[in-house]
Structure 1
Amino acid sequence: MKNDLALIMALPNESKGLFEQAQIAVHYSGIGKINAAFTAYDVIQKTGCKTILNLGTAGSSFFNAHELVEVKTFVQRDMDVSPLGFEVGVTPMDTHFPHEIQLEPYFLDLPQGICGTGDSFETGQPKVSCNLVDMEGYALAKVCKKLNVRLISIKYITDGANDTAHLDWEENLLLGAQKLLKLYQSI
């Protein structure tokens, strides 16, 4: 599987240099949906990969800190056109893709989650139904679906998506990188 797989992470902070030390190529997207979409498209076009593995961090008030969670569904937590009569999370007039993008599970021994993606660092309860939050995943999923590339997304829970999330995120990055590297090496 690793022969046709490309690894995308948002930031070098999330790998702490461990992947590079292990001679593993990482494509860093930067923060947010636009950066993630551009990077996914670019990586798919340049590498011809059949699978993108997204490893990264997420906040959750549902899952325990330090837990690895495989995302089974991505939703947009910041798409809000409700004043025009659309449900929060639904992109108006987007007939090609539902507002929930389903992924095929790969790591059957990991808990499965619904990830709400948005261009904000979430510290409260999202307006859409989800049990973890990130800032890139939905965009990666949409590009992969459009280009018929499999996406596998594993998130390390760094924080409780609450008022101390920014402190917890930074403090837990090294342990997260270690756990994500071990998972990658098990593929």
Structure 2
Amino acid sequence: MKHDLALMMALPNESKGLFEQEHINVHYSGIGKVNAAFKAFDVIQKTGCKTLLNLGTAGSSRFNAHELVEVSRFVQRDMDVSPLGFAVGVTPMDHDYPSGIDLEPYFKHLPQGICGTGDSFETGIPKVDCNLVDMEGYAIAKVCKKLGVRLVSVKYITDGANDTAHLDWEANLLLGAQKLLVLYKSL
């Protein structure tokens, strides 16, 4: 898989330099859906990859901290056009992916989760059906689907998506980077 694969993460904080020490090329998108969509498109165009591997961090009130979870579906937790009669999470007039994007599982040994993506650091219960939250995944998934590139996404759970999430996220980044590196090396 590695020969036609590109690796993408949101921030250098998520790799803690460990991937670079192993001479692994990481493409960093920056925070949020717009940055992620632009970077995913750019990486796919420049590398010609057949698979984009997205490794990163997420919060979850369902999965345990320090657990690796493979994303089986991405939804938008901040898409809210409910005043026009649409359910929260549904993108109006998007006939291909109105409410979510399903991914084909790759890592059979990892638990599977539904990730709600939004341009906010979630510290409460999302309004959409999801059991982990991030800030980039849905955008990456949509670009990959539109360009016919497989997306595999694994998240390290850093926090409980609660009122201490910002502190837990920072404190757990190094352990997350170590676990994600071990997973990457297993490919």
The verdict on a shared fold, with TM-score over 0.5 as the criterion, is yes
Offset, 1:98:
3.2
Question: Which amino acid is the alignment partner of residue 161 of structure 2?
Answer: A
Cα deviation, 1:123-170, whole Å, max 9, x if unaligned, reads: 000000000000000000000000000000000000000000000000
Matched, 1:109 2:102: no
Aligned residue runs from structure 1 range 1-187, under 5 A: 1-187=1-187
Determine the C-alpha separation between the residues in 1 that align with 2:145 and 2:185: 25
What secondary structure is seen at the aligned counterpart in 1 of 2:87?
coil
Give the TM-score normalised by the residue count of structure 1.
0.99
1:69 partner SS: strand
Secondary structure at the aligned position of 1:19 is classed as helix
Letter of the 1:16 counterpart:
K
Q: Retained in 1: the 8 A contact 2:71–2:103?
A: yes
Q: Distance in 1 between matches of 2:53 and 2:98?
A: 22
Q: Once the 2 structures are TM-superposed, how far is the Cα of residue 100 of structure 1 from its aligned partner?
A: 1.2
Instruction: Output the CA distance in 2 between the equivalents of 1:97 and 1:119.
Output: 19
SS at match of 1:176: helix
Q: Take 2:103 and 2:3, find their aligned partners in 1: how far apart are those partners? A: 20
Shift of 1:95: 1.1
Which consecutive residues of structure 2, in runs of 5 or more, have no partner in the other structure? none
2:92 and 2:98 in contact (8 A); partners too:
no
Q: For residues 163 and 67 of structure 1, what CA distance do their matches in structure 2 show?
A: 20
Identical counterparts, % of pairs:
83
Q: CA deviation at 1:97?
A: 1.8
Displacement of 1:96 in angstroms is: 2.1
Displaced runs of 4 or more, over 4 A: none
Partner SS for 2:139: helix
Which amino acid counterpart does residue 48 of structure 1 have in structure 2?
Answer: G
- AA aligned to 2:27 is H
Q: Which letter maps to 2:178?
A: Q
Instruction: Provide the C-alpha distance between the structure 2 equivalents of 1:19 and 1:174, rounded to a whole number of angstroms.
Output: 12
TM-score, normalised by the number of residues in structure 2:
0.99
**Matches of 1:85 and 1:21, distance apart in 2:** 51
- CA RMSD in angstroms comes to 0.4
